[in-house]
Amino acid sequence: KQNSKGYAMKLMKSDTTKILEEARSIQKKFSPFITLPEKIEPNPKKGLLSGIVISVKDNICTKGIQTTAGSRILQNYTPPFNATCVERILDAGGVILGKTAMDEFGFGTFSVNCAYGIPKNPLDISRSCGGSSGGASCLTASADFPHIALAESTGGSISCPAAFTGTVGLTPTYGLVSRWGLIDYANSLDKIGCIGKSVYDV
């Protein structure tokens, strides 16, 4: 079992090709993704997140990567811009891995309402990953590579899936993280946060 500091040191030595191969393997077993690109490029920018891959919940806009909010209504919608939080991740050296499964437009607590497939709990595939950020928690629990999931919560959609999968979720105070580029469920309640393997990573 790795301690938090050891895991963080591993984050700096990411191999994007191997990570993408492992992500595809995880997708076949547990279905955490809605969209997984053909390739991911290392980010030349240096910063706090250098070498770390970040998955993004599918209601947060990503330039050039399909963003559906878990709904067929938005199938093939490719934003021409990044959400502010995604732009800040890229500025800090992070690498965007793919878009994770969620209940359609965030309506749900178990991630069973996703139009593109239901993520399976890596601890027990017969059980739910929680929701609506179920894909984010599924990937975090199953990935061995350095990873942090960008997620979003309206009324428990980060803490619930983190609890269901034995991961760590952080739901920031409303308004602390910019919601520009988020496909809202409830504008006066939505918070963008993250899910990681440990408190240190989060």
Active site residues: 57, 132, 157
The strand pairing partners of 148, in sequence order, are 54
Contacts of 83 (CB under 8 A, 6+ apart): 60, 61, 62, 178, 180, 181, 182, 192
CA 63 to chain centre: 15
Q: Give the pairing type, strands 168-170 and 191-196.
A: antiparallel
The pair of three-digit structure tokens given for residue 90, joined into one six-digit string: 């890229």
* Type of residue numbered 141: A
* Type of residue numbered 25: S
Counting Cβ atoms within 10 Å, is residue 52 exposed (0-12), middle (13-18) or buried (19+)? buried
The pair of three-digit structure tokens given for residue 177, joined into one six-digit string: 């993280």
**How far, in Å, CA of 97 to CA of 36, rounded?**
7
